[in-house]
Structure 1
Amino acid sequence: MNKPVYLTAEALDRLKNELHTARTTGRHDIAEAIAEARAQGDLSENAEYDAAKEAQGHLEARIAKLEETMANARIVDESSVDTSKARILSKVKVRNKKAKREMVYTLVSAEEADLKEQKISVDSPIGKALLGKALGDTVRVKVPAGFVELEIVDISR
């Protein structure tokens, strides 16, 4: 059994739209590219044909991933998120004990993760370490540069 994927309603809508586009426009565009490449003759040495077939494989893999994600999706209502502990959709303010710097992360599913928006996956090393922790807890996380200690200074929605 696959594990559930927790998403906001907005994220699920984005995935549905991406899936619809991939199934319709994406497949149509690739079919045209393959037909165009075929029309050029010998397929054994046709780089355009190979590229189009490879793109088709990538698209079909993405479609399969989207379908799997949506089949396992569980919608999380942000207004019902308990702020006593860090959970999915919690905004967690942490202080790096060594650098004395504060950061705010929103814990989200891997499908919604976007570091530019300070959304980190609950499956990432920092996300895993913060999940289930309470205000005042300190976590030690292995990062590429070694270990970092983060103190939880605030949890909100």
Structure 2
Amino acid sequence: MHESVPMTREGYNKIKKEIARLENEEMPSITEKIAAAREEGDLKENAEYHAQRENQGKLQARINLMKDKIARATIVDQSQLPKDEVVFGCTVTVEDLAYGDEEEFTLVGAGEEDYNAGKILITSPFGQGLIGKKVGDTAEIEVPAGTNKFKVLKIEFRDA
């Protein structure tokens, strides 16, 4: 299962930075705690030792997943994408036609999503509903409460 993961340059760099932080700060800290707990004596009944070993395993698994994602990453060259339609990596401003609210979203790949920052998965129902739309187009998108209509107001490429 070596499916490629589309990613923006920004997302790729963010994951690389997080891997470095985990390996150079978090892992050494846990290793020190394991060593300190080991010095307390009998390892069979040493709860701190076992807790830190478990933390170490979880952290290593997280690092491994991130490294796998980076290894499979395909950085999308936004300069090669159409500038007049909603595509991967663009920031799109839409109007919710039911409520009149304007919202801004950036369409990103797996591992880059941050819903609080307006970064949504390109594979999400919302992302899929917007793909290929141009300024002025209306997208009908299925949401848990039914179908919402969104009008595309603006399309931008911020890190291209």
Structure 2 portions without partners, runs of 5+: none
Q: Percent identity?
A: 35
* Alpha-carbon shift at residue 15 of structure 1 (Å): 1.9
Matched with 2:99 is 99
Which stretches of structure 1, 4 residues or more, deviate above 6 A after TM superposition?
none
- Counterpart Cα distance in 1 of 2:15 and 2:54: 23
- Bigger mean CA deviation after superposition, 67-76 or 37-46: 37-46
1:107 touches 1:119 (CA, 8 Å); kept in 2? yes
Change over 3 Å in CA distance of 1:80–1:117 after alignment to 2: farther
TM-score, normalised relative to structure 2: 0.81
TM-score, normalised relative to structure 1: 0.82
1:137 aligns with 2:138: yes
What letter is aligned with 2:36? E
Matched with 2:51 is 51
Q: For 1:20-99, what aligned pairs fall within 5 Å after superposition?
A: 20-99=20-99
- Bigger mean CA deviation after superposition, 94-103 or 127-136: 127-136
* Alpha-carbon shift at residue 103 of structure 1 (Å): 0.8
Matched with 2:127 is 127
Q: RMSD of aligned C-alpha atoms? A: 2.3
* Alpha-carbon shift at residue 131 of structure 1 (Å): 2.5
- Counterpart Cα distance in 1 of 2:29 and 2:117: 31
- Counterpart Cα distance in 1 of 2:39 and 2:97: 63
Structure 1 portions without partners, runs of 5+: none
- Counterpart Cα distance in 2 of 1:18 and 1:100: 38
What letter is aligned with 1:17? K
